Structure 1
């Protein structure tokens, strides 16, 4: 499956687990990765280091527009001096469009794991070429359930979700783009990482274990949500690997100016996962990132 991945790597730790799952899965062929949101240049350098450390330095990497930083950069200290001095990364929007034009129409899936500023820029750059995507699968929004009091829980009212609130206009543009959209909101992505699986991932004989352990060590003491990771961004990747992770429901989603996402009457503009099989998500993560000997 050829994929473009857009990530705000370096803030919450879920991006690191999602990237490890994606890179460890032979079902995926990453054709482009873009760094987005906040200090996107710094995020790009962190992603570059992660790719190099895990043996994927050949994947093209680009950087989107920087924006006001809402989520912080908990893992900035991971950056090595050699990575800090690297040459500037190419601009994301034209690279995304060029990648889509070079691939057969309807062959590439976009996985969006952060605020959609870069995706909005690509739509604006060439809306016709953007429609060459097969689909967009993204972690964004909150429909009926919101952030819970602890990792892996929800509350029975929606919340202003971080990715949707990061660029509501870009999310509206995506939903209106004519591309098939699969939305995984908080309703389906509040999956906590159990301590025993975390220990297995960190101790595994893989190229991902040490980077994940190091990044977690930087994130945990800075996390305002506690030290148990919530695997928000892992869920869309797991869904592409195992369709039974969730069942999308056709809905029409409106996006308010503050980033709240609401189901409204009208023609559906997305398939929305409103629940999740947490056990299947964790099983996918374990099998790919920490396979049994």
Structure 2
């Protein structure tokens, strides 16, 4: 039976790979919508990027809805210094062939969840959690419809945008706090595991030899220098871990933990405190993934991506 999902995203190169993996897995995943949020680049660009990726994967059946313009409280900070001026540096993709579907992303999330059976929707946020937080606050009645939230965000150790914080939780820590406090099952992919998911130079080269438009675009995005030494032994694939977990959970390991998010405007902003050893005696609110069989992950990912145009 296929899992019904909404992908909430701010593409971003690794978001693009995550979306393409979902497109290539229609036998297992029913993607009801792609909702966009400001993050790696402003929301107008993340929306255009989602449409460009949808065009590349030839999945015009999946609607794209534009979402939140910025975080709940703080001004938006973006990451063009990592992903390039348009967010998809190296992809070489044309402008979108169509426009976003009418209706705000937050309302789309609410409507899809309300129409679903109890526990019928899996939410897959790959960027800042603004859209999800707004949906949960506007329509708390949808929470029972959410089977689980598989999120890329946070870190058990050092951050990647500040010493304390991973980018997504840093950009909108208040939204992350709402989501981690929502009471629904959460699977957390923080930097502790996603930085193990390094696509090696050989694997990136293999993608380039697929002979498809998808393979060429992915190779162009991944075979480029990363700032600050990130990915010097390859390219970290943060967001594809979320989709891969839905497909191949046996490749991952972790434990249930209590997670809090620092929302103050201070050097710890966006830090996720993960009670790995249960010191706080709190009920766990997330399954924190800590290990991945990276080589097997990328072998399977490349096999799936080879099925796309």
TM-score of the superposed pair, with normalisation by structure 1: 0.86
CA contact (8 A) 1:252 1:269 kept: yes
Match of 2:292 among 276, 280, 283: 276
Residue of structure 1 in register with 2:137 after alignment: 124
Match of 1:180 among 177, 185, 205: 185
Counterpart-to-counterpart distance in 2, 1:205 and 1:107: 37
> C-alpha deviations, 1:112-169, integer Å up to 9, x for none?
11111111111122012133111000111111x3358xxxxxxxxx741111111111
Residue of structure 2 in register with 1:40 after alignment: 43
Q: Which runs of 5+ in 2 are unaligned?
A: 71-75, 264-268
Shift of 1:203: 2.1
Counterpart-to-counterpart distance in 2, 1:139 and 1:15: 10
Note closer, same or farther for the CA distance 1:141–1:214 as it changes in structure 2 (3 Å cut): same
Residue of structure 2 in register with 1:55 after alignment: 58
> C-alpha deviations, 1:36-95, integer Å up to 9, x for none?
124112111111121122210110111111222321252627564565x84675311010
Note closer, same or farther for the CA distance 1:107–1:281 as it changes in structure 2 (3 Å cut): same
Match of 1:238 among 241, 244, 251: 244
Counterpart-to-counterpart distance in 1, 2:291 and 2:251: 9
Counterpart-to-counterpart distance in 1, 2:96 and 2:139: 35
Counterpart-to-counterpart distance in 1, 2:273 and 2:37: 25
Match of 1:210 among 192, 207, 216: 216
Counterpart-to-counterpart distance in 1, 2:183 and 2:217: 38
CA contact (8 A) 2:65 2:100 kept: no
CA contact (8 A) 1:75 1:215 kept: no
- Per the alignment, in what secondary structure is the counterpart of residue 281 of structure 1? helix
Match of 1:112 among 125, 129, 147: 125
Do residues 146 (structure 1) and 158 (structure 2) align?
A: yes
Shift of 1:210: 3.0
Q: Which runs of 5+ in 1 are unaligned?
A: 149-157
Residue of structure 2 in register with 1:29 after alignment: 30
Counterpart-to-counterpart distance in 2, 1:42 and 1:185: 25
Report the more deviating stretch, 65-74 or 255-264.
65-74
Note closer, same or farther for the CA distance 1:207–1:108 as it changes in structure 2 (3 Å cut): farther
Counterpart-to-counterpart distance in 2, 1:206 and 1:58: 21
CA contact (8 A) 1:242 1:284 kept: no
Counterpart-to-counterpart distance in 2, 1:53 and 1:275: 31
Report the more deviating stretch, 71-80 or 243-252.
71-80
Residue of structure 2 in register with 1:288 after alignment: 304
- Per the alignment, in what secondary structure is the counterpart of residue 208 of structure 1? helix
Counterpart-to-counterpart distance in 1, 2:85 and 2:20: 16
- Per the alignment, in what secondary structure is the counterpart of residue 274 of structure 1? strand
Shift of 1:9: 0.3
Report the more deviating stretch, 199-208 or 240-249.
199-208
User: After the TM superposition, which residues 193-232 of structure 1 pair with which residues of structure 2 at under 5 Å, given as runs?
Assistant: 193-216=199-222, 220=224, 223-224=227-228, 225=230, 228-232=234-238
Do residues 262 (structure 1) and 278 (structure 2) align?
A: no
- Per the alignment, in what secondary structure is the counterpart of residue 58 of structure 1? coil
Note closer, same or farther for the CA distance 1:222–1:280 as it changes in structure 2 (3 Å cut): closer
Counterpart-to-counterpart distance in 2, 1:188 and 1:27: 24
Shift of 1:205: 4.0
